[in-house]
């Protein structure tokens, strides 16, 4: 699946503004038997951190045990991304990236505004380890 496909998915979700059978079917086509895991990530939550005055933006998704750093459409700090995208090259995304796209398309995510000095604390708290 290409990055263009993720853009198509984002546009489809943005137009629909709800998770219906069509969107779930679309999810199943691109992420077989995993649509429920994407929905579980959505339920656990997506957060958009905005740092001031730099306007740096950091997205995170709550995993089962920890928060994962997301660069939309590009990168996630989860093990699945590392294993299936980086190492095995099976696909270009993970459930957290798809959940972030949906939450952004629906404009349904938590916003946290912090000062720039808090940025390194967040990165340290995420314990970015592979």
The pLDDT of 28-34, averaged and rounded, is 76
> How confident is the model at residue 97, as a pLDDT?
92
- CB-based contacts of 93: which residues, under 8 Å, 6+ apart? 1, 6, 73, 76, 81, 85
Query: Angle at which helices 35-44 and 95-106 pack, to 10 degrees?
Result: 60
Q: Which residue has the higher pLDDT, 30 or 119?
A: 119
Whole-number Å distance between alpha carbons of 128 and 130 = 7
The domains of the chain are located at 3-126
* pLDDT tier, 124 (very low <50, low <70, confident <90, very high otherwise): confident
User: Both tokens of residue 29?
Assistant: 């086509």
> How confident is the model at residue 130, as a pLDDT?
37
For 72-101, how does the pLDDT look when each residue is reduced to its tens digit (9 = 90+)? 989 999 999 999 889 988 878 889 998 999
Whole-number Å distance between alpha carbons of 111 and 127 = 21
- Verdict on whether the full-model pTM lies above 0.85: no
The pLDDT of 22-39, averaged and rounded, is 80
Residue whose C-alpha is closest to residue 69's, from 106, 123, 111: 123
The pLDDT of 29-38, averaged and rounded, is 79
Whole-number Å distance between alpha carbons of 35 and 87 = 23
Cα angle value 51/85/129 (rounded, 5°)? 55
* pLDDT tier, 129 (very low <50, low <70, confident <90, very high otherwise): very low
């Amino acid at each position: 699946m290409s990055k263009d496909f993720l853009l198509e998915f984002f546009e489809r979700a943005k137009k629909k503004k709800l998770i219906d059978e069509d969107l779930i079917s679309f999810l199943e086509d691109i992420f077989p038997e995993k649509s429920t895991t994407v929905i579980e990530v959505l339920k656990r939550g997506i957060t958009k951190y905005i740092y001031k005055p730099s306007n740096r933006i950091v997205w995170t998704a709550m995993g089962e045990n920890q928060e994962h750093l997301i660069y939309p459409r590009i990168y996630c700090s989860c093990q699945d991304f590392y294993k299936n995208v980086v190492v095995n090259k099976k696909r270009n995304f993970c459930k957290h990236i798809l959940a972030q796209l949906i939450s952004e398309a629906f404009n349904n995510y938590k916003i946290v505004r912090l000062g720039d000095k808090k940025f390194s604390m967040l990165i340290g708290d995420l314990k970015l380890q592979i």
